[in-house]
Amino acid sequence: DAGVTQSPTHLIKTRGQQVTLRCSPKSGHDTVSWYQQALGQGPQFIFQYYEEEERQRGNFPDRFSGHQYPNYSSELNVNALLLGDSALYLCASASPGTGRYGYTFGSGTRLTVV
């Protein structure tokens, strides 16, 4: 049973560019959350998707947007990249009941903005 799958694993972008990160949740999971983990920090909540809608959002600017597809997979889009967007981006999924039993995390996408 595959866990949470994220692609790509590593990415290098230039300031001002746009990036799309992808996530396939664990089988049976319908809720997807995205987190940003800067170097030496804990994960920071970006937003959560359920039933193809953004349900909660953390303190991130509108440059960060997302989407969830009918098969529960999700994308995170970041526009107008800044150097400060360099981080590990983690996707986490949960079963119905929104994570009472703990989220399952992917291995992340390491984004470097130069």
Partner 1 sequence: AQSVTQLGSHVSVSEGALVLLRCNYSSSVPPYLFWYVQYPNQGLQLLLKYTTGATLVKGINGFEAEFKKSETSFHLTKPSAHMSDAAEYFCAVRGSNGGYQKVTFGIGTKLQVIP
Nearer to partner 1, 84 or 102 (CB): 102
CB of 63 to partner 1, least distance (A): 19
Residues 21-50 that bind partner 1 (CB under 8 A): 31, 33, 35, 41-45, 48, 50
* Cβ-contact 5, 106 below 8 angstroms: yes
Residue type, 75: E
Which residue lies nearer to partner 1 by CB, 10 or 15?
10
**Region of 70 on the Ramachandran plot (φ > 0 left; ψ -120 to 50 alpha; else beta):** alpha
Q: Mask of contacts with partner 1, 60-99, x by CB under 8 A? A: ------------------------------x-x-----xx
Q: Phi-psi bin for 55: left (phi > 0), alpha (psi -120 to 50), beta?
A: alpha
8 A C-beta contact, residue 106 and residue 92: yes
Q: Contact residues for partner 1 (CB under 8 A)? A: 4, 31, 33, 35, 41-45, 48, 50, 55-56, 58, 90, 92, 98-108, 110
